Amino acid sequence: MSCDFLALALPGVQKLSPYVPGKPIEELAREFDLDPAQIIKLASNENPLGPAPMALKAIQQELPYLTRYPDGNGFALKQAISQRFGFDSAMITLGNGSNDILELLTRAFVAPEHEVVFSQHAFAVYPIVTQAVGARAVEVPALNWGHDLQAMAAAVTPATRLIFVANPNNPTGTWVGRSELEAFLDQVPEQVLVVLDEAYTEYVDDKHALNGFDYVKKHRNLIVSRTFSKAYGLAALRVGYCVSHPDIADVLNRVRQPFNVNNLGLAAAVASLSDNAYLEESRRANREGMIQLEQGFAEQGLSWIPSRGNFVAVDVGRDAAPVYEGLLRRGVIVRPVAGYGMPNHLRVTVGLPLQNQRFLDALAEVLADE
Residue type, 282: S
**Does position 1 have pLDDT exceeding 60, yes or no?**
no
Q: What is the pTM for the complete model shown? A: 0.92
Q: How much is the pLDDT for 31?
A: 81
Residue 140: phi and psi, rounded to 5, are: -95, 130
Q: Give the chain's end-to-end CA distance (angstroms, integer).
A: 50
**Does position 76 have pLDDT exceeding 80, yes or no?**
yes
pLDDT band for position 370 (50/70/90)? low
pLDDT in tens, 113-158: 999 999 999 999 999 999 999 999 999 999 999 999 999 999 999 9
What mean pLDDT, rounded, does the chain reach?
93
Mean pLDDT of 167-177: 95
Give percent of the chain with pLDDT exceeding 70. 95
CATH topology of domain 20-50+277-369: Aspartate Aminotransferase, domain 1 (3.90.1150)
**Does position 19 have pLDDT exceeding 70, yes or no?**
no
Q: What is the DSSP letter of 168?
A: S
Burial class, 365, CB count within 10 angstroms (exposed 0-12 / middle 13-18 / buried 19+) = middle
pLDDT band for position 3 (50/70/90)? confident
**Does position 14 have pLDDT exceeding 70, yes or no?**
no
> Per-domain residue ranges for the chain?
20-50+277-369, 53-274
Check for a shared fold between 20-50+277-369 and 53-274: no
**Does position 272 have pLDDT exceeding 70, yes or no?**
yes
**Does position 21 have pLDDT exceeding 90, yes or no?**
no
Q: How much is the pLDDT for 4?
A: 73
- Find how far residue 367's CA is from the centre of its chain: 29
Mean pLDDT of 50-55: 93
**C-alpha distance from residue 368 to each of 300, 323, 361, 362 (Å):** 10, 10, 11, 10
**What is the C-alpha separation between 23 and 313, in angstroms, rounded?**
17
Give percent of the chain with pLDDT exceeding 90. 86
**Does position 322 have pLDDT exceeding 90, yes or no?**
yes
Q: Do the Cβ atoms of 165 and 195 come closer than 8 Å?
A: yes
Residue 27, strand partner residues: none
pLDDT band for position 2 (50/70/90)? confident
pLDDT band for position 18 (50/70/90)? low
pLDDT band for position 17 (50/70/90)? low
Phi-psi region of 333 (alpha: psi -120 to 50; beta: other; left: phi over 0): beta
Q: How much is the pLDDT for 5?
A: 60
pLDDT band for position 16 (50/70/90)? low
pLDDT: which is higher, 6 or 220:
220
**Does position 39 have pLDDT exceeding 80, yes or no?**
yes
Mean pLDDT of 88-102: 94
In sequence order, what DSSP letters do the residues of 109-133 get, joined into one string?
A: H--TT-EEEEETT--THHHHHHHHT
**Does position 107 have pLDDT exceeding 90, yes or no?**
yes
In sequence order, what DSSP letters do the residues of 23-53 get, joined into one string?
A: PPHHHHHHHHT--GGG-EE-SS---TT-S-H
Residue 207: phi and psi, rounded to 5, are: -65, -15
**What is the C-alpha separation between 134 and 243, in angstroms, rounded?**
26
Q: What is the gyration radius of the CA atoms in the chain, in angstroms? A: 21
Q: Would strands 335-336 and 345-349 be described as parallel, antiparallel, or unpaired?
A: antiparallel
CATH topology of domain 53-274: Aspartate Aminotransferase; domain 2 (3.40.640)
Q: How much is the pLDDT for 112?
A: 94
**Does position 250 have pLDDT exceeding 90, yes or no?**
yes
Q: Would strands 40-41 and 160-166 be described as parallel, antiparallel, or unpaired?
A: unpaired
Q: How much is the pLDDT for 315?
A: 97
Q: How much is the pLDDT for 140?
A: 97
**Does position 85 have pLDDT exceeding 70, yes or no?**
yes
